[in-house]
Structure 1
């Protein structure tokens, strides 16, 4: 089924809102259906509309979305032993690595002051976040450290596309990367430090926005000719 971009946007918003309502109500058992629907919808949309892209970009993106879907499913089964949390973390780690590869396909020169500043800012943010979390991580210290590096690498490589793609594609994907960091930061703080009111809604809202913006940005990708 082929959806026009505007129609899909409204459908996607509906799915995210439905998942939010289900998650905040006594119908939370239905999240086994509504939460995976978010990534399934993006997979179907990108699968139908991304065939004009480079074949490598197309299949790598489908793979990244698939690993994200796996991560969503694993995190629904999170328990005190943290096994499913680790499985979810690894799934999203693979997704971020794939996004890094996708973004590196359109990398511009990294010998610029603004790229260096962005790199330093993200490193400072990641270091600060890890220091805040470290005392409560226990055996998850190494997996969380690796994951933080991966998501920061994803954000940095998304910025590295700035002079190789059109402004719409760059802005959508870089903004999506920032939303991803916000989502995972809220998730980490809520899990390891203190309860955040409405954390489930804010995590899923920012996460869904991140994935949507990245998918839309890739569909708008139009590399400049040198």
Structure 2
């Protein structure tokens, strides 16, 4: 078992344990000091793990990834006080900015064909339209923040799919699965907040999906290998071998 694999498994188990503790605290002592510690710890763990084990060749990508995780941390803190409208709006914008920085981190300097993004765009658009249809009557002052968030989420999904031909398969799969968990969390959060507040196990599901999504995305980014760089390295090695 490789060093990365051992560290990834150990970190994942520890992260999931903290996530379960946070869920228990949310159910029993939401908006307490304990919740600030438990929920804040999740993003801090991800930032620490990424900082220690990332293999970013670009300082710009590292900057965007770090900013994304920092804004998720800020959003997490604001969401604890979601009953205060202003804090809820701040949380939505913080999460939106975090996903926007994920978009910047996922982007590659290459052209793409429309058919590459059609499946992801269609699925995301239909899902967002369905959710907006269900919650629209109850959004009120949250209409534009929610619209902004859904727009960024669509970009988030599209650019995660566009990584396919540029990174190794393991990294791509981890990030894509994480993106779908994020969509599940966002959908449930929107429905419970603005449509139906009695969905079974809503608190557990939203936090579990959110936490797992963040974990998988960070693991995927840490494991990422740029295929163009890797192919160039192999070609150079082959040429040196021939010489």
The two structures have a TM-score, normalised by structure 1, of: 0.92
Whether contact under 8 Å (1:18, 1:34) holds in the other structure is yes
Residue 5 of structure 1: aligned partner: 8
Q: Sort the Cα spacing of 1:82 and 1:51 in 2 relative to 1 into closer, same or farther, 3 A.
A: same
Instruction: Give me the CA root mean square deviation.
Output: 1.9
Match of 1:71 among 49, 71, 75: 75
SS at match of 1:136: helix
Residue 86 of structure 1: aligned partner: 89
Q: Sort the Cα spacing of 1:138 and 1:27 in 2 relative to 1 into closer, same or farther, 3 A.
A: closer
Match of 1:165 among 144, 164, 167: 167
Residue 136 of structure 2: aligned partner: 134
SS at match of 1:78: coil
- Please tell me whether residue 22 in structure 1 is matched to residue 25 in structure 2: yes
Higher RCO structure, 1 or 2 (CA under 8 Å, sep 6+): 2
Residue 31 of structure 1: aligned partner: 35
The two structures have a TM-score, normalised by structure 2, of: 0.86
Residue 115 of structure 2: aligned partner: 113
SS at match of 2:205: helix
Cα separation, 1, equivalents of 2:10 and 2:46:
13
What is the correspondence of 1:159-198 to structure 2 with a 5 Å cutoff? 159-195=161-197, 196-198=199-201
Could you list the runs of 5+ residues in structure 2 that have no partner in the other structure?
A: 1-5, 232-243
- Please tell me whether residue 201 in structure 1 is matched to residue 204 in structure 2: yes
Cα separation, 1, equivalents of 2:96 and 2:133:
20
Match of 1:56 among 48, 60, 67: 60
1:53-96 deviations in whole A, cap 9, x for unaligned?
422221211110000000000010122x5111000011011101
Could you list the runs of 5+ residues in structure 1 that have no partner in the other structure?
A: none
Give the total of aligned pairs: 223
Q: Sort the Cα spacing of 1:115 and 1:22 in 2 relative to 1 into closer, same or farther, 3 A.
A: same
